[in-house]
Chain A
Amino acid sequence: MYYLKPLFIILLFPFLLTGNKVTVVNLQQFQTYAANKHNDTLYVVNFWATWCDPCVKELPAFQEESKKYSGKKVKMIFVSINSVKEVGKVQNFVDSHNLGPVVLLLNAGNPNDWIDKIDSSWSGTIPATAIYKSGKKVYFREGEFTFESLDKVIQSKK
Chain B
Amino acid sequence: MKKLAFISAAIIVLCSFTGTGYNVGDKAMDFKLKNVDGKMISLSDYKTAKGFIVVFTCNHCPYAKAYEDRIIALNTKYASQGYPVIAINPNAPTVDDDSYANMQARAKAKNYQFPYLLDETQNIAGAYGAAHTPHVFVLQKSGSDFVVKYIGAIDDNSDDASAVKQKYVENAVDNLLAGKPVDPASTKAIGCTIKWKS
Residues in B neighbouring A81, C-beta threshold 8 A: 190
Q: Mark B144-156, 1 if CB is under 8 A from A, else 0.
A: 0000000011001
Partner of B191, one of A112, A116, A125: A125
Residues in A neighbouring B156, C-beta threshold 8 A: 110-112
Question: Cα distance A80–B105 when bound, in Å?
Answer: 31
Question: Cα distance A115–B192 when bound, in Å?
Answer: 15
Name the distance in Å between A144's Cβ and chain B's nearest Cβ.
Answer: 9
Name the distance in Å between A16's Cβ and chain B's nearest Cβ.
Answer: 33
The verdict on A52 contacting chain B, using a C-beta distance below 8 Å, is yes
Q: Count residues of chain B with CB under 8 A from any CB of chain A.
A: 21
Question: Cα distance A51–B193 when bound, in Å?
Answer: 11
In contact, A111 and B159 (Cβ under 8 angstroms):
no
Q: Count residues of chain A with CB under 8 A from any CB of chain B.
A: 18
Closest to A144 in B: B193
In contact, A123 and B159 (Cβ under 8 angstroms):
no
Partner of A124, one of B131, B165, B166: B131
The verdict on B76 contacting chain A, using a C-beta distance below 8 Å, is no
Name the distance in Å between A122's Cβ and chain B's nearest Cβ.
Answer: 7
Name the distance in Å between B23's Cβ and chain A's nearest Cβ.
Answer: 13
Residues in B neighbouring A115, C-beta threshold 8 A: 188-190
Closest to B20 in A: A123
Interface residues of A in 39-81 (CB under 8 A from B): 51-52, 54, 81
Closest to A47 in B: B190
12 example contacts (A-B, Cβ-Cβ < 8 A) are as follows: A51-B62, A110-B165, A111-B158, A111-B188, A111-B189, A112-B187, A112-B189, A115-B188, A123-B188, A124-B131, A124-B132, A126-B190
Interface residues of A (CB under 8 A from B): 51-52, 54, 81, 83-85, 110-112, 115-116, 122-127
